[in-house]
A and B are shown apart, each in its own frame.
Chain A
């Protein structure tokens, strides 16, 4: 967005929304929405407390691991599915099943299999992030210009080379789009995992604050989460812009 020749940073529109929030809060329409300024005051109060720091580290750990697995598994699987009919036929039904399975219902099974610790939470986070990465990567790979693949093969590309040097790059705009959405979903996933499996981390804080009607505490934690989601999304958006130069000329 440009105003009089100045480029406004992407997140600056948040100021507009924040202002709207403040107004709604000040009007006192509902106790559920305290003024944004109160929320920030609370945020600064709780941000240094051991409970908050512990929740932050638990959440960040699970989130990072979950995102790592969704990306590290999702992209190769998506590429393989877009490339090979056999694998696609084998995996797509299961992808569809996992995509559509209500995770809340899957959680008991997960817990049975993996216990209640970090492992199950990480898996839940991964389950939230991975599908859009797989699906988008698959869609990207299926659109690849066939000549590029033939070219690489004709110059003796090994499967690994083809993977790293052609498929990945040719589908990169779609992959990044998928990773961006996947990572944002993983933010939600980690919280839901924490709420459903064992109540730890930010999930525990949400539960506690919501059930005790500590609304400005509640929103303060939510703001921390949104900030997390935003910065990651903006970073990936920046990467997406970096590949835009060829995305439209493939």
Chain B
């Protein structure tokens, strides 16, 4: 059953898209286009190249922000997980960042960083970083102690224990935080384009919405989701590659 998982994916996709098409045809709302209308809008945007232009704009803050959040987030998360002092001082910041309604804070960001790339990168970071930091730090605390002891007995230095024991042991949870962080980063990038300055894909969404071109709006949203899902799958591949033995399969197998 080599292709089983592919079949399952295709079937469930067909079901959902079918439901979408039907819902669009009823229609459940005049603002809800059918699947085919949306896909033809997507095809149109792909062929006239406008979607690529938009993404070249959107991906800039996204990539920068996600890269910063990943590196800084995992680093800070490790530090918070390891040092009680650091946790005491800094975990409130991330809880605040995580809980703060970003939309309400955007004026502050605009004030401080203007309406350019910096603000957008900032939004992406604010969205992506806290989950990464908090997951990493909680995972670090659950590292099996017998393995730490083993490494110590084989003369592991602190950085060895960190890199070779704590990170691999914590990796499943770090990666689940990372997934959420990266997707939050996607959302942040779009949000910043909707709320700070409409450029790129956010512009397509808000413009087609304001001219009631709903198929284009849904097509743009669909393309973001598609991109994010592809990216998350890539992330999962990386996880499986880096920490192969951590994948012990499913209990039902």
Determine whether B211 belongs to the interface, using a CB cutoff of 8 Å to chain A: no
Which residue of B has the minimal Cβ distance to A30? B111
Is B108 in contact with A139, judged by CB distance below 8 angstroms? Answer: no
Asked if B250 and A142 make an inter-chain contact with CB atoms under 8 angstroms apart, the answer reads yes
B99 touches A225 (CB 8 A): yes
Q: Which residue of A lies closest to B95 (CB)?
A: A233
Q: Mark interface residues in B229-253 (1 if CB within 8 Å of A CB, else 0).
A: 1011100000000000011111111
- Whether A240 touches B253, Cβ cut-off 8 Å, given contacts A96-B233, A143-B172, is no
Task: Pick the residue among A13, A146, A181, A191 that contacts B98 (CB under 8 A).
Answer: A181
* Chain A residues with CB below 8 A from B90, complex form: 13
Say yes or no: A195-B191 contact (C-beta < 8 A), given A90-B8, A226-B96.
no
Give 1 or 0 for each of A1-44: 1 = CB within 8 Å of chain B CB: 11000001011111011000000000000101000000000000
Which residues of A sit under 8 angstroms from B16, Cβ to Cβ? 94
Residue contact B8 to A89, C-beta cutoff 8 Å: yes
Q: How many A-B residue pairs have CB under 8 A?
A: 224
B131 touches A174 (CB 8 A): no
Main secondary structure of the interface of A (DSSP, over half): helix
Q: State the Cβ distance, A151 to closest chain B Cβ, in Å.
A: 12
Return chain A residues, CB-CB under 8 Å to B144.
Answer: 248-250
Shortest C-beta distance, A221 to chain B (Å), equals 9
A100 and B190 form a contact (CB under 8 A): no
Least Cβ distance of B99 to chain A in Å? 4
Pairwise interchain contact B225-A146, C-beta atoms closer than 8 A: no
Give the complex CA separation of A249 and B85 in angstroms: 24
Complex contact B250–A88 (CB within 8 A) = yes
- CB distance A195 to B176 under 8 Å? no
Question: Once the chains bind, are B251 and A143 in contact (CB under 8 Å)?
Answer: no
In the bound complex, how far is the Cα of B172 from the Cα of A99, in angstroms?
17
Flag whether A66 is at the interface (Cβ < 8 A): no
Segment at the interface with A among B24-32, B114-122, B156-164:
B24-32
With an 8 A cutoff between CB atoms, is B18 at the interface? no
Q: Which residues of A contact B (CB under 8 A)?
A: 1-2, 8, 10-14, 16-17, 30, 32, 82-86, 88-90, 93-94, 96-97, 99-106, 108-109, 112-113, 131-132, 135-136, 138-144, 146, 149, 173-174, 176-178, 180-181, 184-185, 187-188, 191-192, 195-196, 203, 206-207, 210, 218, 222, 225-226, 228-230, 233, 240, 244, 247-250
